[in-house]
Amino acid sequence: MALDSKIPSGSISEKWTNYKDHINLVNPANKRNLDIIVVGTGLAGGSAAATLAELGYNVKAFCFQDSPRRAHSIAAQGGINAAKNYQGDGDSVFRLFYDTVKGGDYRAREANVHRLAEVSTSIIDQCVAQGVPFAREYGGLLDNRSFGGTLVSRTFYAKGQTGQQLLLGAYSAMNRQIARGKIKMHNRHEMLDLVIVKGKARGIIARNLVTGEIERHSAHAVVIASGGYGNVFFLSTNAMGSNVTAAWKIHKRGAFFANPCYTQIHPTCIPVSGDHQAKLTLMSESLRNDGRIWVPAKLEDAQAIREGKLKPTQLKEEDRDYFLERRYPAFGNLVPRDIASRAAKERCDAGFGINKTGEAVYLDFAAAIIRYGIDQARLKHLDENDMNVVKKLGTDVVANKYGNLFQMYEKIVDEDPYTTPMMIYPAVHYTMGGTWVDYNLQTTIPGCFSIGESNFSDHGANRLGASALMQGLADGYFVLPYTIGDYLAPDIKMGTISTDSPEFEEAEQNVLNQINTLMNNGGTKPADYFHKKLGKIMWNQVGMARNEKGLNDAITEIAQIREDFYKDVRIPGTQNSFNPELAKALRVADFLELGELFAKDALHRNESCGGHFREEYQTPDGEAQRDDENFAYVAAWEYKGKPSDAVLHKEALVFDNVKLVQRSYK
Ligand SMILES: Cc1cc2nc3c(=O)[nH]c(=O)nc-3n(C[C@H](O)[C@H](O)[C@H](O)COP(=O)(O)OP(=O)(O)OC[C@H]3O[C@@H](n4cnc5c(N)ncnc54)[C@H](O)[C@@H]3O)c2cc1C
């Protein structure tokens, strides 16, 4: 099957406008004859469901939590980008487009990224109208801060809880439609299969997580907004429930899975503390606006710190290595995440790590506290040479900006980050890969769309900070509502789709078979046992640095774990009741297939780009070495019975508007 990305013709800045001017529309009276299933109610699914219902479609929304407002999106801390240029610092739609393509190491589709940058400004207006309390400056205007990979301030934020506030906005918009009956909300339901009738997605099979009942739901189109799959690593900053099942099930039904190996490892997370940990905690990238990242410059100091004989605050300036500022003077601590993560790993691998495991670097706010303190002292006509006054004033400013993050850190690590530098280390955070979609956000299955983090997204091989929320809301509020109408226009007279058909029967049976197999195999080990084993392989061999041997080994080892899983997993309880262990096992089963495809994708990509770092392909100073001649494409995998048999399809990437050069942030 040839991949058709359906990119409209015309100049990059006119494509989206021309597209909207010429697509098929569904008239308002006919929209009420059309049903749409939306799987997922995070920022992508929530915004899509609300908008589609507002337009008049009948929406059936699904989430596995007890409420849409508990979607993983609520965890997003730092902010959301938009090319508003409120700071007058030279931002524009083109610059946001350019930064995103460059940040993604030239592995994203230009047309989608430009559209994203175009609609970014509308997102902020929409959210402000909903009442989202973005931070404001003294004069009342919306405030901005900087994120990595850019030279402007374009990130809108609500303290360290931007995702929560945005989700409350989308959730309110959804609730209005739930009250009107235009959205039928199915909380605590997990989609376990897609139903295809005559080549088109026409429904899903879902399990009611409270009663265990298997249900059939039909619609004229199905939208997957199920989030990312970072939990394939077991430990990640994602919510514990985040999983790949919905995306993987559509993959098995014919949706190509693109760039599975593009994973983002976030540089500023609280380091792993031990083997019994189930979750990692992010310290928002926004902290890199003011925090300086460093390790001791001398090995003996690093060792003394690790042994508790020396405190970081005792180390003189000249004995510290601010390695990002040293290596990347133009962007300093605000280099993109992939670069910052690798640089931290490089220092730790060289023996400069500062915690007991040697896998941590410092994020230090002392300089920012003094800088802000002096500024405030001057404004308030206080003595700027009185360090007690300056520190107090500076601490207040920092607390105002990042207070909840500092509090979270102190609760977890039991150290006061205002007086001693934070310890951080990279951790799995976001997955740029996902279901392949064309310009319409439609997968390779007609009528099955994918939005937000679940699609292979607009971020190429590395996502810039604060761009995931932008993409999820762009897809849900401003893109899908157009593109899905174009698809649905021929279906207006079709009527309700029956669930009483062989296709629904077959899909339901497929789900029941898998559940029966897992419930009745009389194994001895919990699903987590296998998930943890998978995670260790993923982190050690398919994580921040990958090589051919490690990847080949990983592929064999993951296939073996999968086999063991089916022989020996134990699920207590029954299938017709509330059974979280069963729900978990079904998710782990899919992670065990995805993990193998993930490694296979990483193995075939004989280059380094963005978050995909192959040790064999690096420049003499350790930077990612891209191979544009052979790898400037999206790798879209077609399922053929098992991960090892997946067939590769390539979508060639064309760069007409940005110059394809090796990325530099120096
Ligand atoms: C700690 C943290 C902080 C972050 N901070 C930022 C930030 O500051 N700025 C930024 O831009 N990005 C940030 N990100 C990334 C961003 O939060 C996510 O990419 C984004 O929220 C994903 O939104 P989504 O709607 O695609 O998916 P999610 O919010 O993950 O929602 C997924 C939805 O799908 C449902 N679902 C999944 N599978 C099924 C199924 N099988 N059946 C039924 N329902 C299902 C879930 O119930 C949920 O409703 C952060 C990520 C993390 C981990």
Express each pLDDT in 615-657 by its tens digit: 999 999 888 999 999 999 999 999 999 999 999 999 999 999 9
| C-alpha of residue 179 to centroid of ligand 1, in Å | 24
Confidence label for 260 from pLDDT (cuts 50, 70 and 90): very high
pLDDT at 138 over 90: no
Phi, psi dihedrals of residue 177, rounded to the nearest 5°: -80, -30
3-state secondary structure at position 453: helix
Pocket residues: Cβ below 6 A from ligand 1:
39-45, 62-65, 71-73, 75-80, 162-163, 189-191, 225-228, 237-238, 242-243, 245-246, 282, 284, 429-430, 452-454, 466-469, 472
pLDDT at 290 over 90: yes
What pLDDT sits at residue 32? 96
3-state secondary structure at position 215: strand
Helix (H) or strand (E) holding 268: strand 263-269
610 contacts 107 by C-beta, under 8 angstroms: yes
Choose which residue among 236, 469, 477, 479 to substitute to test ligand 1 binding: the one with the highest number of ligand atoms within 8 A of its C-beta. 469
What pLDDT sits at residue 286? 85
In this structure, which amino acid lies at residue 554? A
Confidence label for 215 from pLDDT (cuts 50, 70 and 90): very high
Task: Report pLDDT digits (tens) over 385-422.
Answer: 999 999 999 999 999 988 989 999 999 999 999 999 99
Measured over the CA atoms of residue 50, residue 54, residue 57 and residue 59, the dihedral's sign is positive
| C-alpha of residue 231 to centroid of ligand 1, in Å | 12
| C-alpha of residue 187 to centroid of ligand 1, in Å | 16
Task: Report pLDDT digits (tens) over 302-356.
Answer: 999 999 999 999 999 999 999 999 999 999 999 999 999 999 999 999 999 999 9
**Residue closest to 465 by CA, chosen among 430, 418, 490:** 430
Position in ligand 1 atom list of the atom nearest CA 77: 8
Position in ligand 1 atom list of the atom nearest CA 45: 25
Confidence label for 273 from pLDDT (cuts 50, 70 and 90): confident
Can 306 be counted among the known catalytic residues?
A: no
Distances from the Cα of 624 to the Cα of 201, 378, 465, 608, angstroms: 40, 45, 19, 5
- Cβ neighbors of 657 (< 8 A, separation 6 or more) are 12, 97, 110, 114
Mean pLDDT (the chain) is 96
405-426 burial, b at 16+ Cβ within 10 Å, e below that, comes to bbebbeeebeeebbebbbbbbb
Mean pLDDT of 265-270: 94
Confidence label for 611 from pLDDT (cuts 50, 70 and 90): very high
- Bridge partners (DSSP) of residue 431 are 263
What pLDDT sits at residue 622? 87
Could you tell me the pTM of the whole model?
0.96
Task: Report pLDDT digits (tens) over 460-506.
Answer: 999 999 999 999 999 999 999 999 999 999 999 999 999 999 999 99
Confidence label for 521 from pLDDT (cuts 50, 70 and 90): confident
Give the strand pairing for 80-81 and 263-269.
unpaired
456 contacts 434 by C-beta, under 8 angstroms: yes
What does the block give as tokens for 42? 């995070």
DSSP code for 619: -
- d(C-alpha 532, C-alpha 545), whole Å: 19
Ligand 1 atom 8, closest CA:
78
pLDDT at 441 over 90: yes
156 contacts 80 by C-beta, under 8 angstroms: yes
Helix (H) or strand (E) holding 652: strand 647-652
565 contacts 521 by C-beta, under 8 angstroms: no
- d(C-alpha 408, C-alpha 283), whole Å: 9
pLDDT at 73 over 80: yes
Give the strand pairing for 448-450 and 422-431.
unpaired
> Of 202, 337, 587, 626, which one is the catalytic site residue?
337
What pLDDT sits at residue 292? 97
- d(C-alpha 589, C-alpha 513), whole Å: 13
3-state secondary structure at position 89: coil
Orientation angle between helical segments 548-568 and 580-604, nearest 10 degrees: 160
Position in ligand 1 atom list of the atom nearest CA 41: 49
Mean pLDDT of 118-131: 97
Phi, psi dihedrals of residue 66, rounded to the nearest 5°: -80, -5
637 contacts 620 by C-beta, under 8 angstroms: no
Ligand 1 atom 47, closest CA:
63
Ligand 1 atom 11, closest CA:
466
Helix (H) or strand (E) holding 445: none
DSSP code for 149: T
- d(C-alpha 156, C-alpha 171), whole Å: 19
- d(C-alpha 611, C-alpha 265), whole Å: 7
pLDDT at 52 over 80: yes
| C-alpha of residue 234 to centroid of ligand 1, in Å | 16
Confidence label for 285 from pLDDT (cuts 50, 70 and 90): confident
Helix (H) or strand (E) holding 598: helix 580-604
What pLDDT sits at residue 278? 87
- d(C-alpha 26, C-alpha 482), whole Å: 10
Orientation angle between helical segments 43-55 and 162-180, nearest 10 degrees: 30
pLDDT at 2 over 80: no
For residue 49, the tally of other CB atoms under 10 A from its CB is: 33
- Cβ neighbors of 313 (< 8 A, separation 6 or more) are 366, 419, 420, 421
| C-alpha of residue 43 to centroid of ligand 1, in Å | 7
What pLDDT sits at residue 15? 98
pLDDT at 596 over 80: yes
| C-alpha of residue 592 to centroid of ligand 1, in Å | 21
471 conformational bin, left if phi > 0, alpha if psi -120 to 50, beta if neither: alpha
Work out the burial of residue 458: count CB atoms within 10 Å of its CB; fewer than 13 is exposed, 13-18 middle, 19 or more buried: buried
What pLDDT sits at residue 401? 87
79 conformational bin, left if phi > 0, alpha if psi -120 to 50, beta if neither: left
Alpha helices in 4-132 (DSSP H): 15-22, 28-31, 43-55, 93-103, 110-130
What pLDDT sits at residue 277? 87
